[in-house]
Amino acid sequence: MQGPVTEVQETVTEVPESVTDIAEIVTNVSYFDYGQVDDDTAEFLRAKADNINQIRIKSMLSTAKELKEVHDRLANNKSGVFGSWCSSIGIYSDTAQNYIRAYNYIAENFGNISDAEAIQPSLLFAISIPAAHD
């Protein structure tokens, strides 16, 4: 019962004025055709996808918060200490900056961090890029 996964790619050219429009941003998302499996399996897969996405989002937010705290603590060190520290735990400095930007965006645009938990991490990264707001 295996079938293809349909790839949908759309380039993000602007960020919506309102965070309620975030669902309209789609980047490199693959859609799975649940019609390939029986109803019970489709329900099982949807539940697992929801669980996995919640874990991913919570993990991303927790990681971002920790990275921001470290970055803030090392903000006066202009010698690359933050990047070196990130490398020592297996995170590229650019990746850490993406996490921090996403966390800052959430903190500035949502009443509560948990309000952002329904948004895919890739979308949070996309909308938090400064160039996306120009």
Q: What is the pLDDT along the chain (134 residues), one digit of tens a residue?
A: 444 433 333 333 333 333 333 333 334 457 889 999 999 999 999 999 888 888 888 888 889 999 999 999 998 777 889 999 999 999 999 899 988 988 888 888 876 666 666 666 666 666 666 655 44
pTM of the model: 0.61
* Cα–Cα distance, 47 to 121 (Å, whole number): 18
Domain membership flag for residue 1: no
Which residue range forms the structural domain that includes residue 125?
6-133
Counted domains in the chain: 1
Domain membership flag for residue 37: yes
Domain membership flag for residue 73: yes
Q: How far is CA 106 from CA 114, 116, 125, in A?
A: 9, 7, 10
* Cα–Cα distance, 49 to 4 (Å, whole number): 17
